[in-house]
């Protein structure tokens, strides 16, 4: 036996062992990419270098035999620098996507590519389970999300993005119809109690996660039913309330307790509330409409956008008259104007200070509003609301013009001096934003905007055991999937807090490709499936859902358009795992790439040379273990690539059964096709 010291630990290993063998025996991890115990040491990747006392050179742990009394440092500064450089060189030539841009662009990082693939294969229950790994509202969010995932979908470089959001709610609807949802696993009770204030998408998502981890969760909400803005801010023609209720009921079925009609400051002060629980999450949303700050805003007939939508959602019949103006250009403005049509307005105008091109609302929402008779007045802003007998009678509009683009590329509107017009109105609905209500939460730290101040990563407040997430914190109101993303992080932080630990998220190191339309020039153009809808003249008269839904055949055809950008081997990729271990800057040394191509000369195995790091592992496995020698290094210097070396196609007959090269590739360069 040989005795040595590694990172201060005494180790004894058989003579002939390598430093890497000794480290593994001691439970000390030395990163490596090209080592296999079944093969002779090769040392191609250069990632396993270590420092040895009295040795001037760095040594490769996989190829250096141990010696009596050797003192090894695996974490010395020189070794770490050399490893990082080796990884930077490898990653600089690695042209692959770890994760699809759809997943990366989703605020909650839902695995869009995975559930789209499952839908393409007809595995609808699996697709729903994939979504619910992230949040519990696949049917609701699929209907209302402005789908930032689709804005980054690579299929747009061919013809049009995948209908990711529509596929999500298609799968959820199918599973609800059939009743074959996968059961949600719940851990044994921890004995810890969590109180959540706010039953909207943020609060309910946090409750869903914490209940799965075994905590006792109670959600309190001031409204009669759970759902928050999903229920009271989104019209039923976009999100039917029975769809939302089915998903909130499923959360309650996990053991989460719902308490409705409860308001902090009225039913209990916040200090008392904190004393009931081991941890608290504040997710009370943003329920106040932003003011327009124009003369006449106090007149009867002036509504806040969310106030108007909430009144309709609770069964009230707002008296808005026949001529209504909605001020704003976002999705709330579109919801308000289309709702005004449905509650009886004869003429509905949208007043927006920029042009249609600058409207933040989704194009489909604008188009559907136009189909339903809404009229748009661009480049104008409210200057004064005029009243008669205390009620709205008209609005004076200031003409606007756009200046030069700002640093974000958005053109700022400016008033045109002396240019005004007046339109007769019965009501004005201001849909220009919303803010939180601080009443009852004065003891919580506030930002200058009046929102609750919380850590940007963990959403912990300065009060021990109190966390806050969603529209009520930091920057304020945003989209539902953004609130859900915050809730997931807050839930992880609460879980760690309840277990006596601390949660500090670390952004993963990822490889991302830079692509253009040329990269997909060979792809067949397949038009995006069009969602069937009720005709405008019919749907404008009621609140029944506008979209009729996709058929299974339509959904599967649409899902098959996916280009599957994210790497199939991401979960097991040694390259990216090592890059994360060393916190590698994957772009610092990015330059010219090796020749990149995808080929299937091995029949059952696809080779992606863009992802290959030329470690030689596949060549050696095929030669030394499989005894086939089908692969070899071709070329010299920088242009060297790995290619199959045979002339008889029958040579690959056993590749599907063997696939040792695939199993041992440290990246996703090889993929078994059968």
Q: 430: which strand partners?
A: 304, 327
CA–CA separation, 248 and 256 (whole Å) = 10
* pTM of the predicted protein model: 0.93
Q: What is the C-alpha end-to-end distance of the chain, expressed in Å?
A: 46
β-pairing, 49-52 with 59-60? antiparallel
Per-residue pLDDT band for 639 (boundaries 50, 70, 90) equals: confident
pLDDT digits (tens, 9 = 90+) for 514-547: 999 999 999 999 999 999 999 999 999 999 999 9
Average pLDDT of the chain is 95
Identify the pLDDT of residue 405: 84
Kindly tell me if the per-residue pLDDT of 80 is higher than 90. yes
CATH number attached to the domain at 594-672: 3.30.70.20
Q: 304: which strand partners?
A: 430
As a whole number, mean pLDDT of residues 95-114 equals 97
- CATH 3.10.20.740 given to domain 2-92: yes
Per-residue pLDDT band for 651 (boundaries 50, 70, 90) equals: confident
Contact 195, 218 (CB under 8 A): yes
Q: How would you write 177-194 as a 3-class SS string?
A: HHCCCCCCCCCCCCCCEE
pLDDT digits (tens, 9 = 90+) for 430-459: 999 999 999 999 999 999 999 999 999 999
Identify the pLDDT of residue 592: 79
The beta strands (E) that lie in 301-433 are given as 302-304, 323-327, 347-352, 375-378, 380-388, 391-405, 411-424, 427-430
Domain ranges of the chain: 2-92, 193-287+436-498, 290-434, 594-672
Kindly tell me if the per-residue pLDDT of 647 is higher than 80. no
Element (H, E) at 7: none
The superfamily in CATH containing domain 193-287+436-498 is FAD/NAD(P)-binding domain (3.50.50.60)
CA–CA separation, 480 and 463 (whole Å) = 26
Task: Please determine whether the domains at 290-434 and 594-672 fall in the same fold group of CATH.
Answer: no
Kindly tell me if the per-residue pLDDT of 419 is higher than 80. yes
Query: For the ranges 99-113, 378-392, 590-604, which has the lowest average pLDDT?
Result: 590-604
As a whole number, mean pLDDT of residues 69-74 equals 97
Q: Which of 216, 219, 237 is nearest to 228 (CA)?
A: 219
Identify the pLDDT of residue 382: 97
- CATH 3.50.50.60 given to domain 290-434: yes
Q: Which of 576, 613, 667 is nearest to 93 (CA)?
A: 613
Per-residue pLDDT band for 644 (boundaries 50, 70, 90) equals: confident
CA–CA separation, 642 and 558 (whole Å) = 35
Per-residue pLDDT band for 597 (boundaries 50, 70, 90) equals: confident
As a whole number, mean pLDDT of residues 50-70 equals 95
């Amino acid at each position: 036996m040989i005795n040595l010291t590694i990172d201060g630990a005494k180790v004894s290993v058989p003579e002939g062992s390598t430093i890497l063998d000794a480290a593994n025996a001691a439970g000390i991890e030395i990163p490596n990419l090209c080592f296999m115990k079944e093969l002779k040491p090769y040392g191609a990747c250069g990632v396993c270098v270590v420092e040895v006392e009295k040795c001037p050179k760095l040594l490769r742990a996989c190829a250096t035999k141990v010696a009596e009394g050797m003192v090894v440092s695996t974490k010395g500064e020189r070794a770490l620098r050399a490893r990082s450089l080796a990884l930077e060189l490898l990653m600089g030539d690695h042209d692959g996507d770890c994760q699809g841009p759809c997943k990366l662009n989703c605020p909650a990082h839902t695995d869009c590519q995975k559930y789209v693939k499952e839908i393409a294969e007809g595995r609808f229950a699996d697709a729903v389970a994939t979504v619910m790994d992230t949040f519990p509202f696949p049917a609701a969010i699929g209907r209302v999300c402005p789908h930032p995932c689709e804005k980054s979908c690579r299929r747009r470089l061919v013809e049009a993005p995948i209908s990711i959001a529509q596929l999500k709610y298609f799968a959820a609807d199918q599973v609800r119809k059939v009743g074959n949802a996968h059961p949600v696993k719940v851990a044994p009770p921890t004995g810890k109690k969590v109180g959540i204030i706010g039953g909207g998408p943020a609060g309910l998502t946090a409750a869903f996660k914490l209940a799965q981890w075994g905590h006792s969760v109670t959600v309190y909400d001031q409204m009669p039913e759970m759902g928050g803005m999903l229920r009271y801010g989104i019209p039923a023609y976009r999100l039917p309330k029975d769809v939302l209720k089915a998903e909130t009921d499923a959360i309650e079925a996990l053991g989460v307790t719902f308490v409705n009609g409860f308001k902090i400051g009225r039913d209990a002060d916040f200090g008392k509330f904190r004393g009931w629980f081991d941890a608290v999450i504040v997710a009370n949303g943003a329920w106040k409409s932003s003011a327009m700050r124009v003369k006449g805003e106090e007149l009867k007939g002036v509504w806040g956008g969310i106030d108007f939508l909430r009144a309709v959602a609770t069964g009230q019949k707002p008296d808005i008259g026949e001529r209504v103006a909605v001020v704003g250009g976002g999705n709330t403005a579109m919801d308000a104007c289309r709702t005004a049509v449905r509650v009886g307005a004869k003429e509905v105008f949208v007043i927006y200070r920029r042009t249609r091109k600058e409207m933040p609302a989704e194009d489909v929402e604008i188009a559907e509003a136009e189909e339903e008779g809404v009229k748009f007045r661009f480049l104008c802003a409210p200057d004064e609301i005029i009243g008669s007998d205390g009620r709205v009678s008209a609005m004076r509009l200031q003409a606007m013009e756009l200046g030069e683009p700002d640093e974000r590329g958005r053109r700022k509107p400016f008033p045109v001096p002396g240019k005004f017009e007046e339109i007769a109105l019965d009501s004005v609905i201001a849909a220009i934003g919303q803010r939180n209500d601080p009443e009852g939460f004065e003891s919580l730290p506030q930002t200058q905007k009046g929102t609750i101040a919380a850590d940007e990563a963990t959403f912990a407040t300065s009060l021990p055991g109190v966390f806050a997430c969603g529209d009520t914190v930091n920057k304020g109101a945003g989209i539902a999937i953004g609130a859900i993303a915050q809730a997931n992080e807050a839930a992880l932080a609460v879980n760690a807090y309840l277990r006596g630990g601390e949660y500090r998220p670390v952004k993963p190191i990822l490889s991302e490709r830079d692509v253009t339309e040329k990269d997909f020039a060979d792809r067949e153009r397949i038009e995006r499936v069009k969602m069937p809808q009720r005709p405008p003249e019919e749907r404008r008269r009621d609140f029944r859902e506008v979209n009729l839904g996709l058929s299974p055949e339509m959904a599967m055809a649409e899902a098959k358009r996916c280009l599957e950008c994210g790497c199939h081997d991401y979960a097991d990729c040694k390259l990216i795992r090592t890059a994360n271990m060393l916190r590698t800057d994957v772009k610092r040394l990015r330059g010219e790439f090796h020749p990149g191509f995808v080929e299937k000369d091995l029949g059952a195995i696809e080779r992606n040379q863009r992802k290959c790091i030329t470690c030689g592992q596949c060549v050696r496995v095929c030669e030394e273990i499989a005894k086939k020698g089908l692969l070899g290094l071709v070329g010299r210097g920088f242009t060297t690539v790995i290619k199959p070396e045979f002339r008889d196609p029958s040579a690959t007959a056993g590749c599907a059964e063997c696939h040792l090269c695939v199993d041992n590739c440290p990246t996703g360069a090889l993929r078994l096709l059968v």
